[in-house]
Each structure stands twice: as C-alpha cells, then as structure tokens.
Amino acid sequence: MTKRVVVTGVGVISPIGIGKEAFWQGLASGKNGVGPITHFDATSFSSQIAAEVKDFNPADYLDKKEARRLVRFIQFGIAAAQIAVKDSNLTIDSQNAPDIGVIVGSGIGGIGFLEEQAKTLLTRGPSKLSPFTVPYMIADMAAGYISINLGAKGPNSCVVTACASGTNAIGDAFKVIQRGDAHTMITGGTEASITPLGVGSFCAARALSSRNDDPKHASRPFDKERDGFVIGEGCGIVILEELERAKARGANIYAEIIGYGMSGDANHITAPAPGGEGAVRGIKAALKDAQITADQIDYVNAHGTSTLLNDKYETMALKTVFGERAKKVPISSNKSMFGHLLGATGAVELIATILSINNSIIPPTINYEHPDPECDLDYVPNQSRKQAINIAMSESFGFGGHNAILIVKKYSP
C-alpha cells in the first residue's frame, strides 16, 4: 500500500514576510514586496527593480562566524529549515536522524560569491581565491548545510531545474517517503540572485520588467500590459512526513500531498511550448498520480510570471485541462506580490497554497488592471477571496522546458 505523505511544518523567508504568520498576512492582504534594487547600484541596468527580502538577520539562526561567512542562499535555506522544524515540533536525534532526509533545490546557487571571486581572480590572481569558492558557488550546498546544521542523515539531494527547482525538490521528497526510503523529509527551494550578474543576465535575455518608474505595478501576471517578470529572492521549506509517523507523534498536519507530475517541453531553452502543451502533460501526470480528475481541483496556484508567453500559454494549458470548467476555477499568481523567486518560487508558492487551504482564503493576483483577451480566466483580481478549498494544484515551469506540478489536499483522517 502506498504511504500517505503529509505536511507538518512550514518555514518561509520572503519579500512580503518572514515566517508563516507574516507571510500569510502579506498574501491575504495583497502586500506588495517590489521596490528599487538596494543590493547593488542598478542605475545602468534596464531593470532596476526587485523583490528583496527585508529585515533578515542571519545571526538569528547561525553563530556569528557562519552568519558573517555563509552566502545568502545558504543562509536563507538554514533559516527557513530551522523555522520549519520548529513549526513541526520535530526533534532530530541519533535514533531518527538516518530516516530524516533533505532535498532542497536552487536554480542558480551562489552566484554572488562567484561574481566576487571572478573579480578577485582577474585583479589579484588565483592565489587570492577563497577556498570556499566551490562550496559556496554550487547549488547543492544549501541541502548540505541544512543537513549539517540540523543533523539530518537520511537521503540528501539537490534539484536544479531552474524555476521548477523547488517544486521538483518537494515532489522528489514526496516520492522518497512514498516508497519508504525515509519517514521524514526537509525539502523546498532557496535562491538569492539579486546580484549584478543575475539581474544583468536576465536583462540581456529581455525577461525582466523595465517598469522602473512604477515598481509596485511592475509584476502584473495575466494583465495585458505585462512586460516581464520581477526578480525576487527567498526560501520555502516544508517538513514532509509519512502519515502514521506524524500521527504517532501528535504532529499538526497542514495538508496532504497526493500528486506529483513533471514533463519536458523539448521545445526551446527559455520559451514554453506553444499552447502550453508541455504543461498540460505535466498536469495530467500529476492528476494521474493523485488518482483524481481535473473536476476535483478547487484552486490553481499559477506559475504566472508576468511574461507575455508564459501567462498566455499557461492560460491555454489550463483551458485544455479543465475544458468548459476553466473559467469557473479560481487561479492566482503570488508572483504579483513577491516577484519571481526562481528556484525557490515553487516551494514558497506551495506553502502559500497550503496556507490557502488552511485558511479557506485564496490570495489575489494584484495589479490586474487591463484584461487580456488571451488571458480570460478567473485570476482572483486584486482582492483575496473567501472560499473553501479541498484540493489545490501548484504549478512551476522552468527554463529548459521543465514542468513540475504538485497537488495537495485538505487533510482528512
């Protein structure tokens, strides 16, 4: 019999709040986390706006030496993991550590540290490079540091599938528990790419919004005047547990994960497959895994990047999946509030989906002002909506044609 997998803890570091309470308040109220870039001087960049995490102090989670030394995406990962473990009331000890694993995704990893060391190499020579260059640059080190920090000795891995990384990581962790390789997984995604190279590269690809004079209205998924995504940063970590294990220790259960699907577009390095064909296959795979039909989905947490093709093709994909019911299914994009967190976005959005189920409130798609005839579904515009949710779907699509879908359900014994 397939093991049931539930969510017993959440930890989030986001541009609209740190911790689930602040994060949820931000979501439900339509808080806007976008503003001018402060991490570096972006005057010469075509996009000068971002969704930065404010008021994050790594010393709250790490000793002084590590807080000063570790790079930001790892700091985010450790902090969110600690918050999630505490929220779950999970104790990790010598007895259970081998059965508690870590899978955390990151799309880009330590890009800021790579930039610094490249400058050092060019100006001061190879002898001045930091011995931490490789460990702080590679994307898997968030998962590595989390396991070291918490003492989790079970299955340990990292997923790098661009903007689908966090969703794929959670889906893979879900399967680890389902097949019995571990009873608990610490999983999600983390990213900190608001750096000159990170922002400049996306500018070169013409992927970012250039609405620099009006940052609060720059991220506008599904709106006719959308002109690109707003880069963000943050981390989402969830604690997944095998149901009987969670019940035995009296854990609080937020929701049950019931389905995971993925697919490849085999189309283009950045553009989604025409008509959302790849997304459709990913959604159908998740529905099959969950053993449900599309008619049972009550809410869709969309990828909704605020880019021309993504929003159009995602809308087309949902029409294909839901058919005549498409216009009756509420759909919203959290990126309208906190931007695109790249490899962390799927994990943070899954937490948003879970909290939506728990609070019976659908967060809005803010900045939806100009309807697009090609994006004509119910995007829950501008204000949150009170609605009971039994089953919800969270979607993530990444450069390279990676599509990842998670389906979560209100927990029922």
Residue at token pair 């049972």:
296
**DSSP state, 272?**
P
Residue 234: partners with Cβ closer than 8 Å, 6 or more residues away: 12, 13, 14, 15, 53, 76, 190, 191, 338, 341, 344, 348
From the candidates 163, 203, 235, 375, give the one annotated as an active-site residue.
163
From the candidates 158, 183, 235, 303, give the one annotated as an active-site residue.
303
Backbone φ and ψ of 190, nearest 5° = -140, 145
Let me know how long the chain is: 413
What are the DSSP E strand ranges found in 265-330?
299-301
* C-alpha to C-alpha distance for 212 and 194, rounded to whole angstroms: 15
* C-alpha to C-alpha distance for 346 and 402, rounded to whole angstroms: 12
From the candidates 183, 235, 340, 375, give the one annotated as an active-site residue.
340
Q: Is 402 a catalytic residue?
A: no
Backbone φ and ψ of 234, nearest 5° = 150, -165
Helix and strand counts by DSSP (H, E) for the chain: 13, 15
Three-class secondary structure assignment of 45-78: CCCCEEECCCCCCHHHCCCHHHHHHCCHHHHHHH
Q: Is 39 a catalytic residue?
A: no
3-state SS, residue 174: helix
Q: Is 203 a catalytic residue?
A: no
DSSP states of 219-260: --TTBTT---B-BB-EEEEEEEEEHHHHHHTT----EEEEEE
Residues belonging to the active site: 163, 303, 340
